[in-house]
Amino acid sequence: MADTVNATGLRVQQWDSKFFEEYVRENRFAPYMGMDENAIIQMKEDLTKKKSDRISLALVNKLSNAATTGTETLEGSEEDLTSRSHLLTVDKRRNGIRVAEMSEQKSAIDLRNAGRAMLKNWAVSDTRTLIIKALNSFRSANTIYTWETGAQIQNDVGHTVLDAWQVDNTDRILFGAYGAHASDFSAGHTEIDNTSDKMTATLLTTAKIKAQTGSPNITPIRTKGDEEWFVAFLHPYQIRDLVLSDTVFQAAQREARERSKDNPLFRGADYVWDGIIIRSIPEIPLVAASSVTGGSAVQTACAHLCGAQALGYGLAKRWTSKTETFDYGDKVGVAIEQIYGIEKLCFGSG
């Protein structure tokens, strides 16, 4: 009696499915990804079923009419359910490895397994890079800009563009302990120093108040218990200042959290403050203030306080693998690819 053997094509599909599950699970931003509007990073897979290089993410405005009461007539006074959208562009992103026959005598399927860890780490890193670039991006005059260093801000973007963006987003920006200047990005950076502008619990609360009172306000994410949360992504240096220098934050973690080795002060895990979940992201780029203003050499980093639908993750094709032979069959390569894009969602003109 012959043994049943799984078809090669089926094994490949199973490998790809497992690869995608591991990739999502091990991504540092995975807890904040979701398919609905309550997620900080909203994922949309519409393009997996239709052809296009752009996907639309919608924001439905909340209702604001006063209630119709008593015997008043509701007909003719219904509220318009208005909505806005953001068009997110996707692109193919891929990488691969190649192994010579004498270096590793394995089949194409085994090669997938042999390179899974390396390919998965690259895929997770690629997604993390796109997420951080999206967090560090801004839109001005319907053009999306992003930066990695202060010099790039100054040389590639220009202060005129930054000032115009700041005019539209004064309710979204804090320069350390100071509020955003009305129209001067450089002036805001000039006021940053290495003493009074370090990350503190007070600064986090101030940012939360801005999120709650801005126009429009930033929607927090809601848990099953109807709790409301924001998430703050901070550079490790900002975490250091918060944990080691801010006595208010230290007292809260010491006196209000569990008194054991499980306290975040000892295990370096996530912190919580005033309805804000605090996460350390080492890959957030540092920017020298001197390269922006020509003045102080203080290093700065963008700390991002996020609510629901902060970023959009458009997915047209999940991570899949492909193999190919080269040099008369002496070398075998395996590649992974995904068609996707990640952007900061902008539901208005400003």
| Res 212: pLDDT | 92
| Res 97: pLDDT | 81
| Res 306: pLDDT | 95
Mean pLDDT calculated for residue range 166-193: 76
| Res 211: pLDDT | 92
344, 307 contact by CB (below 8 A): no
Mean pLDDT calculated for residue range 241-259: 83
Helix runs in 26-155, H state only: 108-135, 150-152
CA 132/CA 43 separation, integer angstroms: 16
With CA atoms as reference, report the closest residue to 162 among 135, 181, 134. 181
Q: 1 or 173: which carries more pLDDT confidence?
A: 173
pTM of the predicted model over 0.95: no
Residue 278 banded pLDDT, cuts 50, 70, 90: very high
| Res 174: pLDDT | 87
| CA angle (46 as vertex; 41, 50 as ends), nearest 5 | 150
Mean pLDDT calculated for residue range 172-182: 75
Mean pLDDT calculated for residue range 111-132: 84
Residues in contact with 294: Cβ distance below 8 Å, sequence separation at least 6, in sequence order:
none
Q: What's the sign of the alpha-carbon dihedral 173, 175, 276, 235?
A: positive
CA 345/CA 135 separation, integer angstroms: 10
Mean pLDDT calculated for residue range 1-17: 59
Residues in contact with 304: Cβ distance below 8 Å, sequence separation at least 6, in sequence order:
135, 232, 233, 310
CA 243/CA 146 separation, integer angstroms: 29
- The highest-confidence range among 123-137, 144-158, 245-259, 290-304, by mean pLDDT, is 123-137
| Res 4: pLDDT | 41
In the predicted structure, residue 151 carries a pLDDT above the cut 50: no
| Res 26: pLDDT | 79
Q: 178 or 93: which carries more pLDDT confidence?
A: 93
In the predicted structure, residue 159 carries a pLDDT above the cut 90: no
Phi/psi of residue 136, nearest 5 degrees: -90, 15
Residue 134 banded pLDDT, cuts 50, 70, 90: very high
Q: What is the mean pLDDT of the chain?
A: 78
Write out the DSSP string of 147-202: -SSHHHIIIII-HHHHHHHHHHTTTT-EETTEEPPSS-HHHHHHT--TTTTS--HH
Q: 6 or 276: which carries more pLDDT confidence?
A: 276
Query: For 62-66, 211-215, 306-310, 331-335, which range has the lowest pLDDT when averaged over its residues?
Result: 62-66
> CA dist 280 to 149, 255, 275, Å?
19, 22, 16
Mean pLDDT calculated for residue range 41-58: 75
Radius of gyration of the chain (CA): 24
In the predicted structure, residue 293 carries a pLDDT above the cut 80: no
| Res 20: pLDDT | 81
Residue 230 banded pLDDT, cuts 50, 70, 90: very high
| Res 25: pLDDT | 78
